[in-house]
Amino acid sequence: MKKLSKKKRHEFLDAIYDLLFSQYGKLSCSLDHSNPLELMVATILSAQCTDARVNKITPALFKKYPTAHDYAIANQEELEDDIRSAGFFRNKAKSIIGACQVIDQSYGGELPNNLTDLVKLPGIGRKTANVILGDAFDVPGFPVDTHVTRLLNLIGLVKTDNAVKIEQFVIEVVDEARWVNFSHLLINHGRLVCVARKPKCEQCVLNKKCELNLKNNC
């Protein structure tokens, strides 16, 4: 795959996108939220945790902490209890409070809408920043999570777990208008069909395109 020209890589990635789009269409973020702050909190909670579990926690959480200021002045141990079942609760509580203190003090309570400022917030890395940009601000980005990493490696498009390299590879050859939904499509497919433990290759639309399937069946 490395030897393919940029044009060929573009065509191959477009084919992958089209196959996934034909099955799932335009997807929206699966983390329940109604504003950028809620999406930021939900995305922090989603680390090494299913979105279903996050969505179970957030209704009560968002009601209890409606603004960045509410998190900024929150008692950390109390917030830890509020988010405990999402796992990594100490780190996540620290991240939420730390990020919200900066948002409250430096940005007037509103999240910045650019990557540079978002990744400066404590606990906000590139993945979380790209999710916020794409799903809350309609700014194109390509979030790379465990599913995106796994699927693109299985297909044979990349041979690295380095999220930045994967992001660069995709945004170089895929049209900007497709970045956000491509990430959603890969994540959705990774949860429903190309699951980590036992990929359902026999019911996968990427069947003919995927190195994993070629190794298994050809």
- Among all residues, which ones are annotated catalytic? 127, 145
* Euclidean distance between CA atoms 166 and 73, whole angstroms: 37
Restricted to residues 51-80, the positions that interact with DNA (CB under 7 A) are 51-53
Stretch that binds DNA, among 64-72, 141-149, 170-178, 201-209 (CB under 7 A): 141-149
Kindly tell me which of 8 and 105 has the beta carbon lying closer to DNA. 105
Q: Which of 196, 202, 211, 217 binds DNA (CB under 7 A)?
A: 196
129 binds DNA (CB under 7 A): yes
What gap in Å lies between CA 109 and CA 18, rounded to an integer?
A: 39
CB 111 within 8 A of CB 40: yes
The Cα 48–Cα 10 span in angstroms is: 31
Measured from the CB atom, is 12 or 137 closer to DNA? 137
Find the part of the chain contacting DNA (CB under 7 A) among 14-22, 63-71, 106-114, 189-197: 189-197
**Min. distance of Cβ 5 from DNA in angstroms?**
26
Given the rule CB under 7 A, which of 45-53, 59-67, 68-76, 170-178 is the region that contacts DNA? 45-53
Window 146-185: residues binding DNA (CB under 7 A): 146-147, 150, 160-162, 184
Binding residue for DNA (CB under 7 A) from 190, 199, 204, 212?
190
189 binds DNA (CB under 7 A): no
Residues of this chain, 88-127, that bind DNA according to CB under 7 A? 88-91, 95, 122-127
Q: What does the H/E/C string look like for the chain?
A: CCCCCHHHHHHHHHHHHHHHHHHHCCCCCCCCCCCHHHHHHHHHHCCCCCHHHHHHHHHHHHHHCCCHHHHHCCCHHHHHHHHHHHCCHHHHHHHHHHHHHHHHHHCCCCCCCCHHHHCCCCCCCHHHHHHHHHHHCCCCCCCCCHHHHHHHHHHCCCCCCCHHHHHHHHHHHCCHHHHHHHHHHHHHHHHHCCCCCCCCHHHCCCHHHCHHHHHHHC
The answer to whether 143 contacts DNA (rule: CB under 7 A) is yes
CA angle 20, 23, 27 (to 5 degrees): 75
213 binds DNA (CB under 7 A): no
Piece in contact with DNA (CB under 7 A), picked from 60-68, 71-79, 85-93, 107-115 = 85-93
By CB under 7 A, name the binding residues for DNA. 29-31, 43-44, 46-53, 84-91, 95, 122-129, 131, 143, 145-147, 150, 160-162, 184, 187, 190-191, 196-197
